[in-house]
């Protein structure tokens, strides 16, 4: 007998395992219920408050520019791009939403590397209170890093992904450093033939590459997990508590967020956060409003200006990125380098928070895209967002 679960997701719940949760079709459930798959802890909102009904809009029938991924309108594009949740805001107001049948307005969704960008915002509040100096060495807060790649780099190098690191960000790797990394975070099953590691222990084994720190942009998720550890060392509090008190509650989030943790409770600051689409849109709107919510400052003007303008374009070019030809990367956020000033946070499997200040637009797109990267679809999404920004509500 087919269960209601199988009718909704296309498989029975007991078919989902730690070995397959990031693959199709299982990701349609697990990306919205990461806490059921990987040990997690709560990033508390002030109180849970259900959202209103999704905003209906004719936008889903709006025609797209000819040739955009071969899709005729917005709704067909969202389906083509494996969209689970979509929110479009204009001038602070939600003007369109879309949720897949297996998702919903009150449903959390893992945002993968958008977690990095949220982690950096928490660090911004610590800098404002004098608890962290981005220009200080990592070892000022984490002395045991002295024997690792992080032993002679600055926190700023880590924030900007300019650490010289002998590491390959290979998402599909099954036998190597990246596989060890995934096991240490409890994202993959343990390997009986290899010893168990915690996340921090794994980070401390990473070694420096041949070149100096501070050079080309080199994207490596362990850097962002290290930022989570530094947040705990600077505050004496757990990562989830810091994000709750310094970001989630001040933001006015309506739902608790969550973050996956390892065997010691160390948070996966690089990729383990789950949030609702509307709460993530609130983050984008806060940044669009200069780091404030209802006149209350959350992110300092100094940090935000630096984040949006101080990225090194040459470091981005030298990193040989095939995206954002005019782009920059600063404090775990991407700047498009386009005249509209658009900036964004991006996660694998199609997670986006996109902000265009010039048109007062905030876009959230959460997805269960089968391919973790899919460069062609990433370029399609960028063109899609720019088309939406040009649309007048």
* 144 φψ region: left (φ > 0), alpha (ψ -120 to 50), beta (else): alpha
- Tell me, yes or no, whether 239 and 91 share the same domain: yes
Residue 66: per-residue pLDDT = 83
- Which of 113, 115, 336, 367 is catalytic? The answer is 113
- Tell me, yes or no, whether 223 and 250 share the same domain: no
Of 227, 250, 270, at which residue does a domain stop? Answer: 227
pLDDT, one tens digit for every residue, the chain (393 residues): 789 999 999 999 999 999 999 999 999 999 999 999 999 999 999 999 999 999 999 999 999 988 799 999 999 999 999 999 999 999 999 999 999 999 999 999 999 999 999 999 999 999 999 999 999 999 999 999 999 999 999 999 999 999 999 998 877 777 788 999 999 999 999 999 999 999 999 999 999 999 999 999 999 999 999 999 999 999 999 999 999 999 999 999 999 999 999 999 999 999 999 999 999 999 999 999 999 999 999 999 999 999 999 999 999 999 998 899 999 999 999 999 999 999 999 999 999 999 999 999 999 999 999 999 999 999 999 999 999 999 876
- Tell me, yes or no, whether 305 and 352 share the same domain: yes
Residue 343 contacts residue 319 (beta carbons within 8 Å):
no
Residue 113 contacts residue 345 (beta carbons within 8 Å):
yes
The domain tally of the chain equals: 3
- Tell me, yes or no, whether 236 and 110 share the same domain: yes
- Please list the residues that pair with 356 across neighbouring strands: 361
Residue 115 contacts residue 224 (beta carbons within 8 Å):
yes
Domain limits for position 379: 39-123+231-390
- Tell me, yes or no, whether 240 and 355 share the same domain: yes
Q: What is the CATH number of the domain that holds 94?
A: 3.40.710.10
- Tell me, yes or no, whether 221 and 308 share the same domain: no
- Tell me, yes or no, whether 266 and 380 share the same domain: yes
Crossing angle, helix 277-288 and helix 114-128, to 10 degrees?
50
Residue 24: per-residue pLDDT = 96
Q: What is the CATH number of the domain that holds 159?
A: 1.20.58.710
- Tell me, yes or no, whether 290 and 384 share the same domain: yes
Of 212, 227, 242, at which residue does a domain stop? Answer: 227
Residue 175: per-residue pLDDT = 75
pTM: 0.97
CA distance 187 to 72: 38
Residue 2: per-residue pLDDT = 85
- Tell me, yes or no, whether 244 and 385 share the same domain: yes
Q: Is 113 annotated as catalytic?
A: yes
On the 0-12 / 13-18 / 19+ scale of CB atoms within 10 A, 85 is buried
- Tell me, yes or no, whether 248 and 355 share the same domain: yes
What Rg, from alpha-carbon coordinates, does the chain have? 20
Residue whose C-alpha is closest to residue 342's, from 351, 331, 353: 353
Residue whose C-alpha is closest to residue 200's, from 241, 142, 157: 142
Residue 259 contacts residue 274 (beta carbons within 8 Å):
yes
- Tell me, yes or no, whether 139 and 119 share the same domain: no
Residue whose C-alpha is closest to residue 351's, from 116, 117, 113: 113
- Tell me, yes or no, whether 250 and 362 share the same domain: yes
């Amino acid at each position: 007998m087919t269960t209601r679960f199988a009718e909704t997701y296309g498989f029975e719940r007991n078919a989902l395992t730690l070995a397959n949760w990031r693959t199709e079709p299982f990701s349609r459930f697990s990306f919205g219920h990461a806490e059921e798959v990987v040990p997690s802890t709560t990033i508390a909102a002030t109180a849970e408050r259900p959202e209103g009904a999704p905003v209906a809009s004719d936008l889903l029938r709006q025609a797209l520019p000819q040739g955009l991924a071969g899709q005729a309108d917005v709704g067909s594009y969202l389906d083509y791009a494996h969209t689970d949740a979509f929110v479009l805001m204009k001038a602070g107001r939600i003007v369109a939403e879309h949720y897949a049948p297996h998702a919903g307005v009150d449903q959390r969704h893992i945002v993968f590397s958008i977690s990095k960008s949220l982690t950096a915002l928490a660090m911004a509040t610590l800098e404002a209170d004098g608890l962290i100096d981005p220009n200080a060495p990592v070892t000022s807060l984490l002395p045991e890093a002295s024997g690792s790649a992080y032993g002679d780099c600055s926190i700023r190098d880590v924030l900007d992904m300019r650490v010289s690191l002998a590491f390959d960000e290979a998402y599909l790797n099954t036998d190597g450093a990246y596989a060890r990394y995934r096991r240490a975070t409890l994202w993959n099953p343990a390997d009986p033939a290899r010893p168990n590691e915690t996340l921090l222990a794994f980070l401390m084994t990473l070694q420096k590459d041949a070149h100096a720190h501070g050079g080309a942009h080199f994207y490596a998720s362990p850097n962002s997990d290290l930022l989570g550890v530094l947040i705990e060392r600077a505050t004496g509090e757990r990562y989830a508590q810091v994000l709750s008190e310094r970001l989630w509650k001040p933001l006015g989030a309506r739902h608790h967020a969550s973050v996956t943790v390892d065997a010691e409770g160390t948070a996966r600051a690089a990729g383990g956060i789950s949030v609702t689409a509307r709460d993530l849109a609130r983050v984008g709107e806060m940044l669009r409003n200069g780091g404030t919510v209802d006149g209350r400052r959350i992110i300092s003007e100094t940090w935000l200006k630096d984040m949006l303008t101080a990225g090194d374009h040459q470091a981005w070019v030298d990193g040989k990125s095939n995206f954002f030809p005019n782009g920059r990367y600063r404090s775990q956020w991407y700047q498009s380098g386009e005249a509209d000033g658009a900036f964004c946070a991006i996660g694998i499997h199609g997670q986006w928070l996109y902000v265009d200040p010039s048109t007062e637009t905030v876009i959230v797109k959460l997805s269960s895209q089968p391919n973790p990267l899919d460069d062609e679809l990433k370029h399609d999404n960028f063109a899609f967002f720019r088309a939406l920004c040009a649309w007048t509500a």
